[in-house]
Amino acid sequence: MSEKNREGKRTARERMREERAAQQVKDARKKKMIVLGAVLAVLALGAGIGVVVQNNRSTSSTPKAAPAGAIGKKNLVIPDGPANAPSTLTVYEDPRCPACGAFEREFAPTVDQLQDQGKLFGNYHIVSFIDRHDSGKGSKNGANALACAQDSGYFRAYHDVLYRNQPDETVDSWKDKSKLIDLAKQVPGLDSPTFESCVNTNKFGGWVSAVEEDFDKSGYTSTPTVLLNGKPIYPKNGNDEITPDNLVKWVNEANQGKQLGATGSASASPAPTSTAAETDPNQPPASPAP
Partner 1 sequence: MAGSEQVAWRRFAVATPWISTVVRLGLAVVWAWAGLAKISDPAVAAQAVRAYRILPEALVKPVGYGLPFLEVALAVLLVIGLGVRIVAVISAILLLTFIAAIASTWARGIAIDCGCFGGGGAVAASQTQYLQEILRDIGFLLLALWLVVKPRSKASVDAWLAV
Binding site for partner 1 (CB under 8 A): 28, 31-32, 35-36, 38-40, 42-43, 45-51, 53-55, 57-59, 129, 132-133, 209, 212-213, 216-217, 221-222, 288, 290
Q: CB-wise, 257 or 290, nearer to partner 1?
A: 290
To the nearest whole angstrom, how small is the minimum distance from the Cβ of residue 48 to partner 1? 7
Q: CB-wise, 182 or 216, nearer to partner 1?
A: 216
Q: CB-wise, 14 or 216, nearer to partner 1?
A: 216
To the nearest whole angstrom, how small is the minimum distance from the Cβ of residue 55 to partner 1? 6
To the nearest whole angstrom, how small is the minimum distance from the Cβ of residue 264 to partner 1? 38
Residue 37: count other Cβ atoms within 10 Å of its Cβ: 10
Q: How far apart are the first and last CA of the chain?
A: 96
Contact between 205 and 144 under an 8 Å Cβ cutoff? The reply is yes
Q: CB-wise, 34 or 277, nearer to partner 1?
A: 34
Q: What is the DSSP letter of 89?
A: E
**Preceding omega of 224 cis (within 30 degrees of 0):** yes
To the nearest whole angstrom, how small is the minimum distance from the Cβ of residue 228 to partner 1? 22
Distance CA 157, CA 188 (A): 9
To the nearest whole angstrom, how small is the minimum distance from the Cβ of residue 134 to partner 1? 10
* CB-based burial, 82-113: b 16+ in 10 Å, e otherwise: bbebbbbbbbbbbbbbebbbebbeebbebbbe
Contact between 176 and 214 under an 8 Å Cβ cutoff? The reply is no
What is the distance, to the nearest Å, from the Cα of residue 168 to the centroid of all Cα atoms in its chain?
20
Q: What are phi and psi of 125, to 5 degrees?
A: -105, 110
To the nearest whole angstrom, how small is the minimum distance from the Cβ of residue 79 to partner 1? 25
Q: CB-wise, 79 or 206, nearer to partner 1?
A: 206
To the nearest whole angstrom, how small is the minimum distance from the Cβ of residue 218 to partner 1? 11
Distance CA 266, CA 114 (A): 11
Q: CB-wise, 60 or 197, nearer to partner 1?
A: 60
Nearest to 80 by CA among 120, 109, 110: 120
Q: CB-wise, 160 or 212, nearer to partner 1?
A: 212
